[in-house]
Structure 1
Amino acid sequence: MFDPDKYRSVIWLKGGRAYPELDCFGIVNEIRRDLGLTLWPEFAGVTKDENGLDREARGLMSELAKCEPAAGAGIACYSAGMVTHVAIVVDIGGVLYAAECNPKSNVTFTLLSRFERRFVKVEYYQ
């Protein structure tokens, strides 16, 4: 069962991959680990700089299957035709949320419908 309280101590860190210092991709793998899912590549050092997130996310997505929102699914978020953010679907009390990590706000859990409105397009992958 997913425990959102663990993530209240997370601090956003650009390129962060080691709990409790995580960025948007770092939180995806940390939650996948806690859910007992296969971890995705670490992508150490990859950030949005020089389109690194877009490049690596598209490569990973080519190896995954698109899916409907479900707990543990990765979320690719597009702005201006590029993947500019990633998140993961979590189930809290039977309701699906997007778990994400951002500067200043650190980890947040947002209802999927509300989360999707912030981006031009979102896609879900398993």
Structure 2
Amino acid sequence: MLWRRSPYGDGGTEICLVHRPKYDDWSHPKGKLKRAEDPLAGALREVLEETGHRCVPGPRLGTVRYLAQGRPKEVMYWAAEATDGTFVPNNEVDLIAWLPPAAARDRLTQPRDRLLVDALLNALHAT
């Protein structure tokens, strides 16, 4: 989960969500691992590909399992603090949004993704 300190100087946290036009949904950046790719390396690659932002990985947030079109999916998440980068729309992701946690929770399409907002906030407060 890509996050940053608010650029408005209020000390708040903003979470990056991606809009996928193929599904018309808002989610956390995620994707498929390449053959023999380490899960954390794959997560960092996917964040860069989908958002244009580099990041520093933090604590692992957990694994989400679900069915998509009858097929089992498994996604591992880490907290990832944004360092630099610029978003460029592409075929897979046409928009990103940096939102405070409550707004991110409301914008997320899938209820299972909302639990990850709480996991991120807990991890950030524990460090």
Structure index of larger Rg: 2
TM-score scaled by length of structure 1: 0.28
The structure showing larger relative contact order (alpha-carbon pairs under 8 Å, at least 6 residues apart) is: 2
More strand, by proportion = 2
